[in-house]
Amino acid sequence: MNKPLAFLATVAVSALLSGAAHAEDIKIKLWTLADRSAPARVTNIEAAANVMNAQFKATGVDKRIVIEANSSTKQGWDDLALDTLKAFSVGQGPDIYVLPHEWIGKFAQDGYAMAMDDRIASAPWVYGDILPVLWNSAKATDGKIYGIPQDAEIRMFFYNKDMLRKIGKDEAFIEGLPAKVEAGEFTLDDLTALSKEVVKAGGAQYGMLHRPNVGIDYLMVFQSYGVKFMDEKTGKLVFPKAEMEKALGWYERNAREGVTPVDNTAMSWDAIQGAFKQEKAFVFHQGVWAVAWQVGEKNGATWPADREGYFRKIGWIPAPAAEKGGKPANLSHPLLYTINPKSKNADIAADLVAVATLPYFNNEHAVSSYHTAISNAQTAMPRYKDNWVLSAASPMMAHARFVPNHTQFGSYNKVLFSGLQAVETGKMTAAQAVDFIADELELQFGSDVEIREAVGN
């Protein structure tokens, strides 16, 4: 018998032999968010149940796992997390649920998430190959791992190489830009200067565009400037004023110098995407899934859809370092399979998640939904390798960082974005925005957020 499946059979049989001899369904409740682009969050668990049911049959266990999936129509992952918390509080939570990683600390603290460290250590056939950086997203303040990465993605700065050719840059400079960013030789201010040069020389109408609303893409820049959003020892959110002012100052300079339009945050998504696709904007930063509309036929233009043609036209870089010699930053936002430790079928639920995490099944999700691999083995499999977008994006996970595992960070981020918006529109200087944000955070969170002069104090 295949060793991984033999392991599962041993665990499953030991969990079930005490049951009745007649046929019985083991019902496993799975909760996730409805997402037409990512059905494999459900179908992979169902496929794992099929594998385990075959093992039961082969070993004479007359029982069957039945997955009862609930795909919520809530507006977003935060709303689903809140609903799941409410269900747990009245004893009606699921056996397995998908959670945005920043909620894992709250669920662990309340006793609704199973600590997975022992299971991870005992199943190297599946977990030993998970990208080490992803485990950081699943840890609570006690340092334990409470979820299994279900997917990953990476965010980056896209830049138009044809515009650099148009203003006279040679191929060595154009193709060497990512290496300079990786080495810390090309900084955020260098990117501003280059964007300004492209606009001034007539290569683009806009130097740089970003998302118009609250999100996490722009947090790459804050992390490049050394911002830390949470004290990992205390679990409290922090607001380091010195580093925040430097990061907001970068956005302020971009707007003041005509690199980013002062109304970027008032633009529609269609206008922003259309500007980049129609080659009116030199730089746009968001995430790997944006390639889907870049190579598609929407937004008023057609670009090459093959690897060679696309990368001849477009380049990718992480957020450059803030200072020479510094390190670039990338953001990822994993979702987690999480187990209810109070479930009477917690062991079976955990085994299902293990099977669903195997490279074959995770690739079914990754390739169909534009998510990057969670394991090294996935990147070597033909279906993943044949997807040139994901294959090219996976190495960027080396710099992946995450938003803090704190349930109030979404509200914190809304206040931060309002400050970013204020400096771009010229309503505030970076220094004024820092004071405004600090006051708002104190008003909303009180002692739950620490206002610091800098990261280190």
CA triplet 26, 31, 33: central angle to 5 degrees?
150
- Position 40: which residue type? A
Kindly indicate the confidence band of residue 296, based on its pLDDT and cuts at 50, 70 and 90.
Answer: confident
With 60 as the cut, is the pLDDT of residue 321 above it? yes
Q: Where are the domains of the chain?
A: 3-146+333-371, 155-331+406-452
9-18, 178-187, 400-409: least confidently modelled range: 9-18
pLDDT at residue 75, rounded to an integer: 84
Domain 155-331+406-452 bears CATH identifier 3.40.50.960: no
DSSP code string of 254-319: HHHTTSS-TTGGGS-HHHHHHHHHTT-EEEEEEEGGGHHHHHSS-TT-----SHHHHHHHEEEE-B
Q: What percent of the chain has pLDDT over 70?
A: 95
pLDDT at residue 9, rounded to an integer: 44
With 70 as the cut, is the pLDDT of residue 2 above it? no
pLDDT tens string 147-171: 999 999 999 999 999 999 999 999 9
pLDDT at residue 5, rounded to an integer: 45
pLDDT at residue 17, rounded to an integer: 44
Q: Name the DSSP class of 187.
A: B
Alpha helices in 296-429 (DSSP H): 307-313, 346-356, 359-369, 376-380, 382-385, 388-393, 409-425
With 80 as the cut, is the pLDDT of residue 287 above it? yes
Q: How far apart are CA 58 and CA 229, in angstroms?
A: 51
pLDDT at residue 197, rounded to an integer: 98
With 90 as the cut, is the pLDDT of residue 316 above it? yes
With 80 as the cut, is the pLDDT of residue 180 above it? yes
pLDDT at residue 18, rounded to an integer: 41
- Residue 128: how many other CB atoms lie within 10 Å: 12
Domain 3-146+333-371 bears CATH identifier 3.40.605.10: no
pLDDT at residue 398, rounded to an integer: 87
Kindly indicate the confidence band of residue 359, based on its pLDDT and cuts at 50, 70 and 90.
Answer: very high
With 80 as the cut, is the pLDDT of residue 311 above it? yes
- Residue 20: how many other CB atoms lie within 10 Å: 9
Fold matches, 3-146+333-371 and 155-331+406-452: yes
pLDDT tens string 330-351: 999 999 999 999 999 999 999 9
Report yes or no: 85 and 112 within 8 Å, Cβ to Cβ. Answer: yes
Q: How far apart are CA 50 and CA 12, in angstroms?
A: 13
Kindly indicate the confidence band of residue 15, based on its pLDDT and cuts at 50, 70 and 90.
Answer: very low
Q: 3-class SS at 324?
A: coil
Q: What percent of the chain has pLDDT over 90?
A: 90
pLDDT tens string 369-389: 989 999 999 999 999 999 999
pLDDT tens string 25-57: 999 999 999 999 899 999 999 999 999 999 999
Q: 3-class SS at 449?
A: strand
Kindly indicate the confidence band of residue 10, based on its pLDDT and cuts at 50, 70 and 90.
Answer: very low
